[in-house]
Amino acid sequence: MGFDITKFKESGAAITQQSYGSEYKPQIWNINGCRLATATMFTLFFGGNDFAPKTKIQGQPAQEFLQGHLIKAYAKVAERLKGLPALVGYDTMNEPFRGYINCYNLNSTGWYHYKSGPCPSALQGMLLGAGIPQEVEVWKPFLAKLIGRTVLNPGGVKAWKDGHDCIWRANGVWDLDKDGKPVLLQPDYFQFRNGRKVDFVNDYLSLYYNRFAAGIRAVDPSAWILLTPPNVNYYPPPMGEIDTKDLVYKPHWYDDVHWVTKSYHFFPNAFVGNDKLTNKPVIGLPGKVQASFNDQMRRIKEIGNNLRGGVPTVIGEIGICYDLNNREAYRTGDYSAHIKEWDRLFKAMDASMLSYNLWTYDAFNTNEHGDNWCMEDFSIFSRSQQANPHDINSGGRALEAVVRPYPTAVAGDPMRFSFDIKSRIFEFEFRHDPAVNAPTEIFIPQHQYPQGYKVTISDGNYTMDKDNQRLIYRHPPDHETHTIKVEPLR
């Protein structure tokens, strides 16, 4: 297509917060997704047929080329992995982004979900890539505030290879007038097609979901398809017949206030979080923030329960920053803020009994380089804290919150479970399935119970498999619900 990746930064086509001074250091995907390079590629991938009909890649329409090659690559992987016992299924795409689709005004910065650092409008991003310098808005992050303007690409560097023009100019979005000045021809170009307002999720993302599922199931009909929405604010779109079963709803969830500000306390004497389903901050005592997080997880699970008659929900990513407060913990060894942030996330997920994947474990994390990409530092493990390589817990960070008891196999339906990191009391209640004769297994980490633990049960019997950190509970057939309580020996 003609991008010259060696000129991205100079032209402003892919400028990130990291490349614009220390004040804008946090990586913010929703902002970087609005830059020319990223927005262009996502738009071509999902909506190239509608929005870039003149753009071809190796003779094919851009959308067909990009989607077709990606799905064929996944299908080849599925061909090789089919039948493996540990294989569950395939994720449609990690954090898909809409690109320019549904950008209501190419002259406005209002389409940004967040604003931080230099924020060119969509048109300005296109012009920057074409080598035309632009004076753009500069925003202070979090409580968004316009703090000034700056000129990007003063040298007029083009992001396109020699002999290639901006594809959006070629497709009639903008042009140059007789005096050589840029003119926006269609401010709402990505909002309407054929006189109808488009919707990214229902008109484009759902088509890709279906196409992806068909490609995978042509090779492995039993594979589950994991639907990852752009963010939790998007309800998953309706699915076609091929996808009416074996789906998993897999949104990601992060405390945006936490990782944007890189702090646990943001205001004096107040705790701050965010409600991702209303896009509003939550400010107040810890209980108010916890209640909001609990409610958000409940509503996320309800989305899965209502999708196609009810599908499993798993939080595909959840995590915290470890480089809080200018990396203070690396100097003091005090991870109490991290423990509190982790704990309120776990409590929220436990309240709805959600499954989740922690982001992340990086075996090569260090204090200096973090997770070794994008200046992120989310790893629960760091070599910089690993004093004893022979100790499995050495190098772990905030493990008091991360390493928790949880049911790994339940002979029925979980009804309630919780873990208090102060008292280290774990409680679990479930309703057994009469058709299941296998025992219920609970992970009981030695890290939480170094002196051992005692168990209180409502009925049945149990055994402790301390070598494998398991509690094995066998329910009697004559009671429907069962409770298990674990507490440390004092």
Tell me the β-bridge partners of 148: 138
Q: Are 297 and 291 in contact (CB under 8 A)?
A: no
Same-domain status, 393 and 426: no
Return the amino acid letter for 397: R
Same-domain status, 387 and 413: no
Total domains in the chain come to: 3
| CA dist., res. 178 & res. 151, Å (int) | 24
Mean pLDDT value across residues 6-18: 60
The verdict on residue 386 lying in a domain is: yes
pLDDT tens readout for residues 80-103: 999 999 999 999 999 999 999 999
Same-domain status, 368 and 427: no
pLDDT tens readout for residues 443-489: 999 999 999 999 999 999 999 999 999 999 999 988 899 999 999 99
Residue 34: pLDDT over 70: yes
pLDDT tens readout for residues 163-191: 999 999 999 999 999 999 999 999 999 99
Distances in Å between the Cα of 88 and the Cα atoms of 307, 315, 423, 458 are 19, 15, 36, 34
pLDDT tens readout for residues 287-301: 899 999 999 999 999
C-alpha 262, offset from chain centre: 17
pLDDT at residue 23, rounded to an integer = 45
Same-domain status, 387 and 411: no
Same-domain status, 161 and 307: no
The verdict on residue 167 lying in a domain is: yes
pLDDT tens readout for residues 391-405: 999 999 999 999 999
Same-domain status, 320 and 455: no
Q: Are 260 and 26 in contact (CB under 8 A)?
A: yes
Percentage of the chain modeled with pLDDT above 70: 91
Same-domain status, 157 and 18: yes
Runs of H (alpha helix) within 99-248: 122-129, 167-170, 206-217
pLDDT at residue 242, rounded to an integer = 56
C-alpha 348, offset from chain centre: 17
| Rg, the chain, Cα only | 25
DSSP reduced 3-state for 290: helix
- First vs last C-alpha separation in the chain: 67
Q: Considering only CA atoms, which of 49, 47, 45 is closest in space to residue 61?
A: 49
Same-domain status, 278 and 392: yes
SS (H, E, C) 134-152: EEEEEEECCCCEEEEEEEE
Which range (26-30, 136-140, 367-371) has the least confidence?
26-30
The verdict on residue 366 lying in a domain is: yes
| Residues 94, 99, 101, 105, Cα dihedral to 10° | 140
| CA dist., res. 272 & res. 255, Å (int) | 9
Give the end of a domain, one of 402, 430, 461. 402
pLDDT at residue 111, rounded to an integer = 84
Same-domain status, 124 and 159: yes
The percent of the chain in helix, strand and coil, each rounded to the nearest 5, is: 30, 25, 45
Instruction: Please state, rounded to an integer, the average pLDDT across all residues of the chain.
Output: 90
Q: Considering only CA atoms, which of 308, 161, 339 is closest in space to residue 245?
A: 308
Q: Considering only CA atoms, which of 209, 208, 176, 250 is closest in space to residue 44?
A: 208
| CA dist., res. 454 & res. 464, Å (int) | 10
Q: Considering only CA atoms, which of 316, 330, 337, 322 is closest in space to residue 379?
A: 322
Same-domain status, 391 and 417: no
pLDDT at residue 21, rounded to an integer = 43
The verdict on residue 456 lying in a domain is: yes
Residue with tokens 């690993």: 386
Q: pTM here?
A: 0.90
| Residues 295, 296, 301, 302, Cα dihedral to 10° | 70
Same-domain status, 300 and 273: yes
The verdict on residue 16 lying in a domain is: yes
Sequence-distant (≥ 6) Cβ neighbours of residue 331 within 8 angstroms: none
The verdict on residue 373 lying in a domain is: yes
pLDDT at residue 483, rounded to an integer = 98
| CA dist., res. 131 & res. 160, Å (int) | 9
The pairs formed by 270-278 with CB atoms below 8 angstroms and a separation of 24 or more are: 273/344, 276/231, 276/232, 276/233, 277/232, 277/233
Please give the residue range of the domain that contains residue 338.
251-402
Runs of H (alpha helix) within 232-327: 256-261, 286-306
Of the CA atoms within 13 Å of residue 305, those in its CB half-sphere come to 8
pLDDT at residue 375, rounded to an integer = 83
Q: Answer whether the bond into residue 440 is a cis peptide, omega within 30°.
A: no
| CA dist., res. 272 & res. 286, Å (int) | 8
Q: Are 472 and 486 in contact (CB under 8 A)?
A: no
For residue 446, the domain's CATH number is 2.60.40.1180
pLDDT tens readout for residues 303-336: 899 888 889 999 999 999 999 999 999 999 999 9
Q: Considering only CA atoms, which of 302, 306, 311, 264 is closest in space to residue 294?
A: 302
DSSP reduced 3-state for 284: strand
Tell me the β-bridge partners of 399: none
Residue 283: pLDDT over 90: no
The verdict on residue 222 lying in a domain is: no
pLDDT at residue 19, rounded to an integer = 42
Same-domain status, 397 and 459: no
Give the end of a domain, one of 197, 218, 237. 197
Give the end of a domain, one of 345, 369, 402. 402
The verdict on residue 75 lying in a domain is: yes
* Residue 243: pLDDT band with limits 50, 70, 90: low
Q: Are 28 and 185 in contact (CB under 8 A)?
A: no
Q: Are 92 and 209 in contact (CB under 8 A)?
A: yes
| CA dist., res. 201 & res. 312, Å (int) | 20
